[in-house]
Structure 1
Amino acid sequence: MTVISPISDSDFNRLFEIEQQAHLVPWSKGTLLNNQGERYLNLKLSVENQIVAFAICQKVLDEATLFNIAVAPEFQGKGYGKKLLESLIQQLQQQNVLTLWLEVRESNQTARQLYDKLGFNEVTLRKNYYPTPTGERENAVVMALYL
């Protein structure tokens, strides 16, 4: 059984584990902790009471930005990221958010295909935005979903 619910303080060790496993250049635990509060809609997806995915989303007026979404590698490819993102979008619509923004690595074809399926549009390219493990930089594709 899958359950989507708000992130709580006791979740951060597991979220940090997922972050370390799922991202090329992961956030620090401090960055995860700093992206919380009343201006955020942060959700986790649990399967059989185990957190397997999370989303960090900041709301400002009628816009929101998805800062981070991660699925534990052993649970990727099973539709959990899509399910989590669909729930986030639905909750943002209920809160009168009009646009959801995100940035994605140009090379992350799996994520870009998901965002395309959900109706996001490519808006622009941010050159040399993301760091890579080798110290180089990678472009970010800026995408928007008009709710």
Structure 2
Amino acid sequence: MTIISDLHLADWAQAFTIENQCHSHPWSAATFQANQGERFINLRADIDGELAGFVICQVVLDEASLFNIAVSPTFQRRGVARHLIMSLSERLIERDVMMLWLEVRASNLPAIGLYESLDFNEVSRRNNYYPTANGREDALIMALTL
């Protein structure tokens, strides 16, 4: 069973480990720690008492941006990311947020499929946005009307 709760400062070291396991170009520790505070909704997913994944989201007025989501390789393909996004959406609706935005690597087809299954729509594309091992790749900008 997946349990969703708030991601607290005490969780950041563990979450940062997952960040580094999951992303080819992870955030720095400083960036990771800077994305907290009253404008953020940061959630953690636990399975059997172990941190399985997290989501970091900033809220500004009636819009939110999903800045980061990661699921430990041990727990991938178990619906953890879906649970995190659905729980995040519920919290955003409670705060009268109207739109949730995100950017995703154009090559990340599993994530794009997940987002589309949750009713996100592609809105735009940012050319050469993300770094890769051999250059850069596009980001898709996706939005969910809440």
Unaligned runs of 5+ in 2: none
Q: Which structure 1 residue ranges, 4+ long, deviate > 4 Å from structure 2?
A: none
- Tell me the TM-score normalised to structure 2 length: 0.97
- CA distance, structure 1, for counterparts of residue 126 and residue 61 of structure 2: 24
Q: How far apart in 2 are the matches of 1:3 and 1:82?
A: 12
**Which residue matches 1:27?**
27
Q: Does 1:58 find its partner at 2:58?
A: yes
TM-score (norm 1): 0.97
Aligned equivalents of 2:14, 2:140: Cα separation in 1: 28
* Partner SS for 1:86: helix
Structure 1 residue 138 corresponds to structure 2 residue 137: yes
State the match for 1:46 in structure 2.
46
CA distance in 2, matches of 1:106, 1:2: 28
Using the aligned pairs only, state the percent identity: 51
Q: Secondary structure at the match of 2:97?
A: coil
Secondary structure, in 3 states, of the residue corresponding to 2:40? coil
- Shift of residue 2, structure 1, vs aligned partner: 2.2
2: CA distance, partners of 1:144 / 1:119: 8
Other structure's SS at 2:27 match = coil
Q: Which moved more, 1:19-28 or 1:105-114?
A: 19-28
